[in-house]
Structure 1
Amino acid sequence: MPNKRIQIFDTTLRDGEQVPGCQLNTKEKIEIALALEALGVDVMEVGFPISSPGDFKSVQEISKVIKNTRVCALSRAVKNDIKVAAEAIEDAKNSRIHTGIGTSDSHVFDKLRTTREKVVERGVAAVKYAKTFVEDVEFYAEDAGRTENEFLAIILEEVIKAGATVLNIPDTTGYCMPWVYGEKIKYLYENVKGIQNVTISTHCHNDLGLATANSISGVVNGATQVECTMNGIGERAGNASLEEVVMILRQQKSLEYDTGINTRCLKSVSELVSEKMKMPVQANKAIVGANAFAHSSGIHQDGVIKNRETYEIIDPLEVGVSESSIVLTARSGRAALKFRGKRLGFEVSKNELEEHYKRFLSIADTKKVVTDKDLIQLFSQTSDSLTG
């Protein structure tokens, strides 16, 4: 029996670009959009067309060049927003409008200053209007994470009747614990009439560092689409990280899910997004960080040299990294020194290794990392002293 297909909805070019200082021009957005298509995302949300003429143009131009991936534009539950979004994606081969409204008490009563009944009316009207332009309409219940399940079920049932094809359940503030978010998805799946005929989507923020965990919990409890960004980039503390979500679902075979993502492109797309958005990826970032497959502890290095799987659960090649790296520091052991020396063309005996290691430690204690240049000099000098 084939694994259950989970759709990947990438919002790097919309939610990701909301990060201060990360604005992209149209050419840069097109370059990233093409890379995301090659990566294999199912849907890419490429902008909020009503927000500015520049964003409208970018969405419009991306729609012209993307061949297979569904192109999505965001709108509020406002007629003109929806109309402009539809115009922007008019040339897309596969298109979607993503519209919605806040549903938590904070959004309904404080931000919108209205009633729950009016919110339902506006949500239904937005979906119906969007359906006059496109078949595929996604409805987001903003701040669903803090919305009472009973009211959430009511509005979702109504927008399904209005024609929504995808229901987005955002943890907008990143407040939910994984089991709470999972229980919310499960509750909706069991209590909303017609929900089995539409796609349930997660959209989790990382304010408490739980975006990826919440997304996985959502999937386990019935969601079949995950909204995420490359490198986890996004407003405030960011969004669920695409590379993390994809590799969790790939590595955890017992879950029996498949995303269809070409994982060997993850590293290159991560680097592209980082470069264009001027947002460095932290070194210890899971999957794509510089240290994700680096080992500097002597005990770990010895294990990896003997069998990579001793300390690595992912083959680096699977995510586009050429190989694991043995980084030499003052915490490194003899096995790592010998390993790196051999790679540089130096074969040493057990007795020679001891002499090399003593000199290595004296260098390592004064430097953060011992480089190949340092090693060549070390091995050459030590060899001369041993033969002289």
Structure 2
Amino acid sequence: MKNVSKYERGYFTPPVKSTKWMEKEYIDAPPTWCSVDLRDGNQALIIPMSLEEKLEYFQLLVDVGFKEIEVGFPAASETEYAFLRALIEQNLIPDDVTIQVLTQSRDHIIEKTFEALRGAKKAVVHLYNSTSVAQREQVFRKTEEEIIKIAVSGAKLVQKYAEKTEGNFQFQYSPESFTGTEMEFALEICNRVLDVWQPSENNKVIINLPATVSMSMPHVYASQIEYMIDHLHYSDNVIVSLHPHNDRGTGVADAELGMLAGAKRVEGTLFGNGERTGNVDIVTLALNMYSHGIDPKLNFEKLPEIKKIYERLTRMQVSQRHPYGGELVFTAFSGSHQDAIAKGMNYKEEKPESKWSVPYLLIDPKDIGREYEGDIIRINSQSGKGGIGYILKQHYGLELPLEMRESFGYAVKDVSDKNHQELQPAQIHDIFTENYVNISSPIEFLGYKFMNFDDYKTIVHVRENGVDRVLEATGNGRLDAISQALQAHLGIEYTNLIYKEHALESGSESRAVSYVGVTAKDNQVYWGCGIDPDIMTSSVKALFSSVNKIVKVIGKTEMQNS
């Protein structure tokens, strides 16, 4: 692209090597989660939530299991203020949930913030000011020392108003635009704030290090976090928090590597809602941990319901391919994927005690409220025999022989391709029924009778072109005897009869389903299916179905006298 020369890396690496995080392979415990849906998420909506909607959303976050929830910037607007007061006055904040409020480093804003917090049982007061080179030079036009003065002044004001206000307050500081700040300066301003607040074991301070704008690859952010943790004052009593945005599409990776670097707290939103490309998605982060066998301490067992509420209140839509929550994330259309999933699901049924390792499915969809039927395998012209067979088995109890699945698969794909559409299970079943089940034309099966069970002599009654006929033959089994009768007296030639049967439903009134495949003189295998309460009759109907397909495609040889 022609304008590439106007860009350069705008981030800063630590002045010392900070790569201990690389020695860790996985996250072994969840962080403290802080939802910022009601602040960062809400301010990014085209239509911000009303007071009633915010109250409902707050309850959703509580139900999911968040113990820290940023509820807004109470000095910024009347709705923000009223929302906080409603939570407190209506006693809507559970005892184990801490609310968080945001404030700039300005006297009247901090005063209004503490006024709004009157009566709160426990709250985090989140102070921030921008520290990046771009903000210092272009927005504030201030020196480093002047920027530090803003932060220190704010820290003192927060401490002053906290002492005058009844309540239990924890302090948090964010060097906003941290990722565009020189690491030495970011460290200095955080330490100057910590020197004002002087955290202790019983009064820990949160230092939040936001990727306000994601500017680097995730490993750089991890090294920045590690450097800060290693050099912050009062480190034993400081909780380092992350607040990644997703400008480069790496919000989740930034958070995960930041946790490897030692951060113990993460601020984010459901499904990543937020300014520009959004905040880090806590749903994805939490379920990534879950997929490694780590309990994230958040409950997404009813994720479709959570998504429905989220979409209604935010008026945002979760992408169909969004990790875990998207409509299609567990769905396979590709034939090879479907075949592997179907076999993996069957293997899991055979060995239910085994750990989850179904191909292409990172977690069990049912664990987050998704259903196998309609969620995992869906059929279009790209689908394969394995997936199509899986649909018939799951929805209709039909277990097609492996050899038959290929024949039926082509029939289904042909319909999907010609109509240029996805096929629903009922449509697939209709195609199967129409092309394979109890086919009675041009030769209709009317009945049979065995004369001698020693040599399986049989009499078969058929109707062809309105004419009833009686056929006789002997075989090495009942189905073979009927097969010999059809070939001998109706001029039909085939070899290599393949047969399979199973019960279609359980119980005393269950029906039997039989599948028969035969090889005609054109060397093609023709399949038929028979369904009947009587297992023998279902077998005969399956044979007639396959024979009728031969007659329709290649015709018959010269009729013999019966």
TM-score scaled by length of structure 1: 0.92
Residue of structure 1 equivalent to 2:439: 386
Question: Take 1:108 and 1:349, find their aligned partners in 2: how far apart are those partners?
Answer: 70
Residue in structure 2 matched with residue 138 of structure 1 by the alignment: 172
Partner deviation per Cα, 1:310-335 (whole Å, 9 max, x = no partner): 11121223333233521111111112
* 1:359 equivalent in alignment to 2:386: no
Structure 1 residue aligned with 2:366: 317
SS at match of 1:235: coil
Does the 8 Å CA contact 1:49/1:59 hold for their aligned counterparts? yes
The equivalent residue for 1:27 is 52
Q: Is the 8 A contact 2:101 2:124 kept in 1?
A: yes
Q: Is the 8 A contact 1:82 1:97 kept in 2?
A: no
State, as a whole percentage, how many aligned pairs show the same letter.
Answer: 24
CA contact (8 A) 1:346 1:379 kept: no
Q: Is the 8 A contact 2:389 2:400 kept in 1?
A: no
Output one character per residue of 1:8-56: Cα deviation in whole Å (capped at 9) or x when no partner: 1111111111224141111111111111111111211121222211121
Tell me which residue corresponds to 1:328. 379
In the other structure, the counterpart of 2:148 is 120
Moved more, 89-98 or 326-335: 89-98
**What secondary structure is seen at the aligned counterpart in 2 of 1:136?**
strand
Aligned ranges for residues 199-348 of structure 1 at < 5 Å? 199-252=239-292, 259-308=296-345, 309-323=358-372, 324-345=375-396, 347=398
**CA distance 1:122–1:151, shift in 2 (3 Å):** same
1:51 maps to: 76
Structure 1 equivalent of residue 235 of structure 2 = 195
Give distance in 1, aligned partners of 2:367 and 2:80.
Answer: 34
Match of 2:190 among 156, 165, 173: 156
Give deviations 1:173-216, integer Å, cap 9, x for gaps. 11122111111111111112212311101111111101111111
The 1:119/1:258 distance shift into structure 2, 3 A limit, reads farther
Distance (whole Å) between structure 2 residues aligned to residue 240 and residue 368 of structure 1: 35
TM-superposed CA distance for 1:252, in Å, is 3.6
Question: Could you tell which deviates more after superposition, 15-24 or 71-80?
Answer: 15-24
Which amino acid counterpart does residue 339 of structure 1 have in structure 2? Y
Shift of 1:116: 1.6
Aligned partners of 1:234, 1:79: CA distance in 2, in Å?
Answer: 27
Change (3 A) 1:364 1:5: closer
Query: Is 2:92 the counterpart of 1:65?
Result: yes
Alpha-carbon displacement from aligned partner over 1:198-248 (angstroms, at most 9, x marks no partner): 110111111110111111111110111111111111101111100111122
Quickly say closer, same or farther: Cα 1:349–1:135, change in 2 above 3 A.
closer
Q: Match for 2:424 among 368, 371, 381?
A: 371
Structure ID, larger Rg: 2
Contact 1:48–1:75 (8 Å) recurs in 2: yes
Task: Encode CA deviations 1:348-384: one digit per residue, 9 max, x unaligned.
Answer: 6447645533331222112331113322322332245
> Does the 8 Å contact 1:39/1:265 carry over to 2?
no
Find the residue that maps to 2:39 and give its secondary structure: coil
Q: What is the CA–CA distance in structure 1 between the aligned matches of 2:143 and 2:196, rounded to whole Å?
A: 20
**Cα separation, partners in 2 of 1:292 and 1:349, compared to 1, 3 Å:** closer
CA–CA distance in structure 1, aligned partners of residues 254 and 406 of structure 2: 50
Q: Aligned equivalents of 1:243 and 1:387: distance in 2? A: 55
- Tell me the residue number matched to 2:118: 90
SS at match of 2:75: helix
- Aligned partners of 1:219, 1:342: CA distance in 2, in Å? 44
Per-residue deviation, 1:346? 5.4
Which structure has more RCO (C-alpha within 8 Å, separation ≥ 6)? 1
Report the Cα distance in structure 2 between the residues aligned to 1:269 and 1:349, rounded to whole angstroms: 38
DSSP 3-state at the match of 1:179: helix
Gaps (5+ residues) in structure 1?
none
Query: After alignment, is 188-197 or 281-290 more displaced?
Result: 188-197
Residue 337 of structure 1: how far off its partner (Å):
1.4
Cα distance, 1:77 vs structure 2: 1.0
From the superposition, tell whether residues 380 and 152 of structure 1 become closer, same or farther in structure 2 (CA, over 3 Å): same
More divergent stretch after superposition (359-368 vs 201-210): 359-368
CA distance in 1, matches of 2:138, 2:400: 75
1:291 maps to a residue whose letter is: L
Structure 1 counterpart SS, 2:266:
strand
Q: Which has the higher helix share?
A: 1
Q: Structure 1 counterpart of 2:180, which letter?
A: R
| Cα offset, 1:146, TM superposition | 0.9
- Quote the Cα distance in structure 1 between the aligned partners of 2:388 and 2:170: 58
| SS across alignment from 1:282 | coil
1:171 pairs with 2:214 = no
